[in-house]
Amino acid sequence: MTDALSRLLELAEADAYLRVLDGRLSDLEREEKHLHERLTLEDEEFKRRQETNRALRLSALAKTGEVDATDERIRSYQHKLDHDIIPYKEMEYLREQVALLRERLDELATEALQLMADADADDGALRVESDEHAVRRGRLEDELAAVADRRAATLAEREALRVRRQGLLQSVPAHLRGHYERLLAGGGSPVVPVVAGVCGGCHLRLAETTVEKVKAGREVVTCEHCSRFLYLRPA
């Protein structure tokens, strides 16, 4: 193998690994995005849970307020009955209202007590769920931090390899660089092995003379079909 071909092969290996790193970065970016989405969903679900708890507590307080308002009406009507001089019809009406309101007050008080008990129980459940939410959120943040670390390390590795690649490219003879770059832009590896007389790139059979030149290793040989650089793998 000539020195030029050795340089080309090393360059091709660097480019192949750069593609691996690019793929790895894409995977990490997708993973990072997915984790951010999961974190957002976790926060949104817990926020809805908090809103449900708040609504239950407000409902209980509203019912308690209704109890107080009803009790106040009863007191007002009873005070009027006990202390004011009022027409008989109004007195009968107020007595009827007091009786109805007392009955309603008992119902409201029962409802208010139940709602308060439900709200207190839900507060307890929410405290447990809050701890569980914090644990889940912490795990997601840890996963995000780990992905960010891997991404930073991969970016640094890619940048170092890009610098090394520039040096490798400059070490390739000038008349071969352009051809290599054009092959690279076309996709696949520009440098491929000869396997049983077949090009490792286009998989077409090579001429005997081409195979012999590759075996001789005295010059840089290209495939007559796809123009890729050819080499023989060590036995």
- Least confident piece of the model among 30-34, 135-139, 186-190: 186-190
Return left, alpha or beta for 197; rule: phi > 0 is left, psi -120 to 50 is alpha, else beta.
Answer: left
Has this prediction a pTM greater than 0.75?
A: yes
The tokens for 214 are 């590759």
Please state, in angstroms and as integers, the Cα–Cα distance from residue 220 to each residue in 3, 77, 108, 148, 176, following that order: 9, 111, 96, 43, 9
Task: Give pLDDT tens digits for 157-171.
Answer: 999 999 999 999 999
What is the average per-residue pLDDT within 213-225?
95
Which pLDDT tens digit goes with each residue over 8-23? 999 999 999 999 999 9
Which of 69, 79, 70, 143 minimizes the C-alpha distance to 101? 70
Strands 198-199 and 229-231, by their bridges, are unpaired
Q: Is the pLDDT of residue 235 over 90?
A: no
Order across the sheet with 221-222: list the strands: 198-199, 191-195, 229-231, 221-222
Every domain of the chain and the residues it spans? 3-172, 180-231
CATH class of 3-172: mainly alpha
- Measured CA to CA in angstroms, residue 93 lies from 20, 70, 72, 105, 159 at distances of 89, 16, 17, 18, 90
pLDDT score recorded for residue 32: 97
Amino acid at 204: L
Q: Is the pLDDT of residue 198 over 80?
A: yes
Judge whether 9 and 191 are in contact, CB under 8 Å: yes
Share of the chain above pLDDT 70, in %: 100
Look over the chain and give the mean of its residue pLDDT values, rounded to a whole number. 96
In tens, the pLDDT along 79-133 reads 999 998 889 999 999 999 999 999 999 999 999 999 999 999 999 999 999 999 9
Predicted pLDDT at 80: 92
- Looking at residue 85, what is its pLDDT? 86
Q: Are 221 and 213 in contact (CB under 8 A)?
A: yes
Tell me: the pLDDT tens digits for 49-66?
999 999 999 999 999 999
pLDDT of residue 233: 86
